[in-house]
Chains A and B, each alone.
Chain A
Amino acid sequence: MFRYLSKSVLLLVVSVAICCILYPIVLWAVGQALFPFQANGSMLSGPDGRPVGSKLIAQPFTKDEYFQPRPSAASYDASASGSSSLAASNYALRDRVARTLGPVVQYKSGPQAGQSVAPDIETWFRKDTYQGAPHIVAQWADMHNSLAQAWVASDAAHTTYVRGWAKAHPKDVQQFRKDNPAATQPKESDLAVTFFKSFSAEHPGKFPSVVTSTGKDGKPQSTIEVVNAGQDIQSTFFDMWRQDHADADIQDVPADMVTTSASGLDPHISLQNAEFQLDRVSAKWAADLKRDPAGVRSEIEQILQKNAAAPWNGVAGEPFVNVLEVNLELRTKYGEPK
């Protein structure tokens, strides 16, 4: 027994020396000597020579001058990779995709071909009728309790707004307590559905939306305004609009534009996705540089084609481009976006 124990310890010591000390050090030395760029994380330098990120790690872009990477379930945090983990059957997945689609989709055919769907969503929203019944916001909260609750909890301004509403509507809160005797101390998010029903009755065709402004102390400040247009309405209610307009012929959006990757850090988008964004990107640069849009478009198109690669040279998959490399090239070529 003791003999086996001493052999076990010896085996552990020898293997740790080989596998945990010798093996990594040899690899480290070879890596730093032969592949220093890769071994240190494939870092890219910006126009001023400072590192701007890793070629292999997605980073966010918000300006219209830049191509945008795939949405990230990890908020592009390269110290905490993560996926959405949303099942196909989970409504949260469909909702997230629909929200991304609403502001960007266009009609494919018919008299409005090529035009944005967003204004029609707003017009439909102001009429405040869904599937023939009144009050879209009330129906939305009723169908998707968890989304309504998530809305209340997602932003401090939302929570404050609901708290203010609760003070002004003691009867509604009382009724909620009566219907839900288990919730003795209802939080703001518990009241979400009651709140939206009351809101929808008082403000037909409107939705509470956050407006950010600069406060007196110079810090950004969020307040709620009751609006009847804007991105919140275009995104939140696109799926409901779609159900009311099932026959509308809408241009398909490349799937990788609305799906999150497994790591949340996928550095690539499909070439199809990049081409989809090309009009927006080139129009914005053309405006910034006061140049002919067609010329800028063909220049950027060339950049995309030059950067396009495909798994196994296209044998195993379709072409994609590296978002950071393309945007870095745009930044070097055209300077700082306005």
Chain B
Amino acid sequence: MFLQIWLLPFALLATATVIAFPLSRYMAWIMDGKYRPLPVMGWFEKRLDSGPQNWKQYIGSLLLFNTVLFVFGYLVLALQPYLPLNPDGKTMLFPSTIFNSVISFMTNTNLQHYSGDQHLSNFSQIFFAIANMFLSAAIGLCALVAIIRALRSDASLGNFFLDMWRVLIYMFVPAALVFALIFLWQGSPMTFKTSHQVSTLEAGAMGTTDKGEAKQQTIVVGPVAALESIKMLGTNGGGFYGMNSAHPFENPTGLSNFFNTLAMMIFPFALVIMYGRMLGRMRHAYVIFIVMLALMAATVVWSVYFDTLKPNPGLTTHAGRTFEIAGAKSSEPKKPLTYPAVAGLPVDQHLGNLEGKEMRFGTSAGATFDALTTDVTCGAVNAEEDSINPMASLAPMAGMWINSIFGGKGVGMINMLLYVIIGIFIAGMMVGRTPEYLGKKIEAREIKLAAVALLVHPFMILAPVALFAVTHWGVDAVSNPGAHGFSQILYQFSSASANNGSAFDGLGVTYGFYNNPNPAPSAIAFDIATGLVMLFSRFLPIIAPVAMAAYLGAKKTNPAGLGTLRDDDVTFGLFLIGTILIIGALLFLPAAALGPIAEHFGPFPFGG
């Protein structure tokens, strides 16, 4: 039992770590342009390369390309009824949902206010979803590479278009092909057909139609394997099907689940080591890597402990309790409130909480995936997040709040760089030394940029959560009573701001097709609000750090001396963890207390 639970998560961490070393060497080699392209490839590179860029030109190109991508994505979705590969005649999604989805995929979030199996044609799955999955992941990686070049005081930040080409052609496409073949072999469909109609083995088990005939089962298929591999490798997370990596076609076996989970980890892991290689500061990168790995292991252990080793508390025995409720004024006497004892239901829960879990992945696979998917900002799920045990749901939430436990493609490392800068600044202030990073003085302008980039995230989560929690927008959307309803709103905006994309699925945010007579009442409000949150939380934390790195890189390097704070030893590692937990996580503690922690302390069951 011990092995059945802990082998999978630690095998994943170990495998991703081992792969990170050779992969990071290859990535640094490609991004530094040391390879020699084949003649055909070289021809394309020459066409795309617009010459060396400074930071403003690089960011300008990045934003311009995103604008083009936005227009393209919007057109593909809006024109869905007129485009090919749509034999079922799927119509157009509601415009606010298109707005939300296009931003969501462009920003590498993949928050889905629609269900792929119900609302998208195969054309949209390929030309909208797959296209954005390749490109949005590459954009974040390019931003990190630009920052590295700025920090090492290169003559230019490189060329955005050439960088994008390199990432796509030499990293994502080959890796996606390999993983897609594994998923295909394990059972993911790869066809341009849309569905099979079958008569079930027991005729009529699906019910009967009005004419008294046995209903058939409609099985949606499509180019699932192609989407699945880049969905995970690019830490995108937007499923072909509504239920994402929990769907048997996206994730058919225990083995496919291992590779599914591994796929989202390898690039974020390798990027940290690549950062060290390209800067020539391997020890520094190792310290950061170990800090991230420790935090990741902590979230996984937390999630598995509360979700796999504990039963679903909704079904178990609870002792009766009496609470004292304080009055509105201190002069009012406290009122007692009694909850009677609850007898447990006869359910054998030795495998943990199985509500919203699949059987084939393995005992701890759901809880492990829950934590990892937000640590690396992927957002795919192989279990229903809404149904995990209350305390366990803190693990995915913390992953999104910290947003740099490896984090998304490139941006996770960028966020970590901000913590490093802020941490060094605080340490410098505490001991009375001039804070320096890589021998460059950190001054007011850099700190302002770092602080802006870091504070966007909590602001973009907490402000809209507060707004939605007190208005009918949020109240009408929640599907579970009490503290969990608050958690649903909190999770939605955390996921949007972290560019994660997983969700507590019960939240009513789906409008559906534009002519849907019964959309969720708050769908438009959530479409627009989360759309804007994703946009700001994506680009401000890319623009500000690139600017900051450019300013830092332009300064002269002071040689390290006795008075220099080391950035590659245990002290620095501990200090970094402290900075992350105090600055990154503590901001969210009050919100956590109102949501998952309150739910954990009961009473169970609540409401109904």
* A interface residues with partner B (beta carbon < 8 Å): 1, 3-5, 7-12, 14-16, 18-20, 23-24, 26-28, 30-32, 34-35, 38-43, 46, 50-57, 59-63, 66, 70, 75-95, 97-98, 101, 105, 144, 146-147, 218-219, 239, 242-243, 245-246, 250-256, 258-270, 272, 310-312, 314-318, 320, 324, 327-328, 331, 337
Given A89-B483, A246-B341, does the pair A52, B199 have CB atoms closer than 8 Å? yes
A-B contact list, 18 entries, CB within 8 Å = A7-B48, A9-B68, A11-B65, A15-B131, A18-B168, A20-B130, A28-B190, A28-B192, A35-B184, A42-B252, A57-B248, A79-B218, A84-B355, A86-B480, A87-B390, A251-B346, A269-B359, A317-B365
Query: Measured between C-beta atoms, what is the minimum distance from B383 to chain A in Å?
Result: 5
Which of the residues A31, A84, A252 comes within 8 Å of B225, measured between beta carbons?
A31
Q: Are A255 and B362 in contact (CB under 8 A)?
A: no
Report the Cα distance A265→B484, complex, angstroms: 25
Report the Cα distance A258→B357, complex, angstroms: 12
Q: Are A266 and B248 in contact (CB under 8 A)?
A: yes
Q: Are B218 and A256 in contact (CB under 8 A)?
A: no
Q: Are A316 and B365 in contact (CB under 8 A)?
A: yes
Query: Measured between C-beta atoms, what is the minimum distance from B369 to chain A in Å?
Result: 10
Give a binary string over B162-175; 1 marks a CB under 8 Å from any A CB, 0 the rest. 00110011000100
Q: Are B190 and A31 in contact (CB under 8 A)?
A: yes
Q: Across the interface, name the chain A residue whose C-beta is closest to B1.
A: A318
Report the Cα distance A88→B607, complex, angstroms: 12
Q: Are A316 and B7 in contact (CB under 8 A)?
A: yes
B459 interface residue per 8 A CB criterion: no
Q: Are B206 and A8 in contact (CB under 8 A)?
A: no
Report the Cα distance A260→B506, complex, angstroms: 14
Contacting residues, chain A, for B67 (C-beta < 8 A):
8
Q: Known contacts A4-B61, A93-B605; can you find 5 more A-B pairs with CB under 8 A?
A: A60-B200, A87-B599, A245-B343, A251-B346, A263-B358
Report the Cα distance A263→B357, complex, angstroms: 8
Q: Are A7 and B61 in contact (CB under 8 A)?
A: yes
Q: Are B200 and A243 in contact (CB under 8 A)?
A: no
Q: Are A311 and B60 in contact (CB under 8 A)?
A: no
Which of the residues A35, A76, A328 comes within 8 Å of B217, measured between beta carbons?
A76
Which of the residues B168, B176, B346 comes within 8 Å of A252, measured between beta carbons?
B346
Query: Measured between C-beta atoms, what is the minimum distance from A78 to chain B in Å?
Result: 4
Contacting residues, chain A, for B8 (C-beta < 8 A):
312, 316
Q: Are B199 and A24 in contact (CB under 8 A)?
A: no
Query: Measured between C-beta atoms, what is the minimum distance from A237 to chain B in Å?
Result: 13
Report the Cα distance A9→B50, complex, angstroms: 13
Contacting residues, chain B, for A246 (C-beta < 8 A):
341, 343
Q: Are A255 and B243 in contact (CB under 8 A)?
A: no
Query: Measured between C-beta atoms, what is the minimum distance from B427 to chain A in Å?
Result: 40
Contacting residues, chain B, for A105 (C-beta < 8 A):
346
Report the Cα distance A260→B144, complex, angstroms: 42
Q: Are A85 and B504 in contact (CB under 8 A)?
A: yes
Which of the residues B164, B187, B221, B356 comes within 8 Å of A261, measured between beta carbons?
B356
Contacting residues, chain A, for B201 (C-beta < 8 A):
46, 52-53, 59, 61, 66, 324, 327-328, 331
Query: Measured between C-beta atoms, what is the minimum distance from A1 to chain B in Å?
Result: 8
Give a binary string over B338-361; 1 marks a CB under 8 Å from any A CB, 0 the rest. 000111011111110111111111
Q: Across the interface, name the chain B residue whose C-beta is closest to A65.
A: B202
Q: Are B248 and A243 in contact (CB under 8 A)?
A: no
Contacting residues, chain A, for B61 (C-beta < 8 A):
4, 7-8
Query: Measured between C-beta atoms, what is the minimum distance from B106 to chain A in Å?
Result: 12
Which of the residues B169, B314, B599 comes within 8 Å of A18, measured between beta carbons?
B169
B481 interface residue per 8 A CB criterion: yes
Contacting residues, chain B, for A88 (C-beta < 8 A):
312-314, 353, 355, 387-390, 599, 604
Given A317-B361, A317-B365, does the pair A83, B505 have CB atoms closer than 8 Å? yes
A-B contact count (CB 8 A): 416
Report the Cα distance A24→B217, complex, angstroms: 27
Report the Cα distance A111→B60, complex, angstroms: 80
Contacting residues, chain A, for B353 (C-beta < 8 A):
88
B115 interface residue per 8 A CB criterion: yes
Which of the residues A56, A98, A260 comes within 8 Å of B248, measured between beta carbons?
A56
Query: Measured between C-beta atoms, what is the minimum distance from A3 to chain B in Å?
Result: 6
B185 interface residue per 8 A CB criterion: yes
Query: Measured between C-beta atoms, what is the minimum distance from A196 to chain B in Å?
Result: 15
Q: Across the interface, name the chain A residue whose C-beta is closest to B382.
A: A262
- B300-350 with Cβ < 8 A to chain A: 312-315, 341-343, 345-350
Which of the residues B219, B226, B347, B360 comes within 8 Å of A78, measured between beta carbons?
B219
Given A87-B599, A253-B348, does the pair A80, B117 have CB atoms closer than 8 Å? yes
Which of the residues A11, A80, A331, A337 comes within 8 Å of B164, measured between beta carbons?
A11
Q: Are A39 and B191 in contact (CB under 8 A)?
A: yes
Best-buried of A83, A242, A259 by chain B (most CB within 10 Å): A83
Q: Are A56 and B606 in contact (CB under 8 A)?
A: no
Query: Measured between C-beta atoms, what is the minimum distance from A171 to chain B in Å?
Result: 29
Closest 9 A/B residue pairs (Cβ) = A91-B608, A85-B506, A311-B254, A262-B246, A316-B362, A246-B343, A31-B190, A311-B362, A317-B362
Which of the residues B64, B206, B246, B248 comes within 8 Å of A4, measured between beta carbons?
B64
Report the Cα distance A63→B202, complex, angstroms: 8
Query: Measured between C-beta atoms, what is the minimum distance from A104 to chain B in Å?
Result: 10
Q: Are B130 and A85 in contact (CB under 8 A)?
A: no
Report the Cα distance A7→B46, complex, angstroms: 11
Contacting residues, chain A, for B348 (C-beta < 8 A):
252-255, 272
Report the Cα distance A73→B329, complex, angstroms: 45
Q: Are B198 and A38 in contact (CB under 8 A)?
A: no
Report the Cα distance A5→B66, complex, angstroms: 11
Report the Cα distance A108→B430, complex, angstroms: 66
Best-buried of B47, B358, B364 by chain A (most CB within 10 Å): B358
Which of the residues B4, B118, B381 comes within 8 Å of A80, measured between beta carbons?
B118
Report the Cα distance A76→B218, complex, angstroms: 9
Which of the residues A11, A41, A70, A262 comes within 8 Å of B243, measured between beta carbons?
A262
Q: Are B355 and A19 in contact (CB under 8 A)?
A: no
Given A85-B505, A261-B357, A262-B246, does the pair A312, B484 have CB atoms closer than 8 Å? no
Q: Are B72 and A12 in contact (CB under 8 A)?
A: yes
Q: Are B217 and A59 in contact (CB under 8 A)?
A: yes
B597 interface residue per 8 A CB criterion: no
Q: Across the interface, name the chain A residue whose C-beta is closest to B355.
A: A259
- B38-85 with Cβ < 8 A to chain A: 44, 47-48, 50, 57, 60-61, 64-65, 67-69, 72
Which of the residues B177, B249, B255, B359 comes within 8 Å of A268, measured between beta carbons?
B359
Best-buried of A11, A15, A253, A266 by chain B (most CB within 10 Å): A11
Report the Cα distance A219→B212, complex, angstroms: 8
Given A266-B359, A317-B363, A320-B360, does the pair A53, B314 have CB atoms closer than 8 Å? no
Best-buried of A8, A32, A34, A254 by chain B (most CB within 10 Å): A8
Which of the residues B130, B180, B205, B384 comes within 8 Å of A59, measured between beta carbons?
B205
Report the Cα distance A242→B365, complex, angstroms: 33
Which of the residues B198, B361, B386 comes within 8 Å of A86, measured between beta carbons?
B386
Q: Are B359 and A81 in contact (CB under 8 A)?
A: no
Q: Across the interface, name the chain B residue whose C-beta is closest to A314.
A: B4
Q: Are B131 and A19 in contact (CB under 8 A)?
A: yes
B186 interface residue per 8 A CB criterion: yes
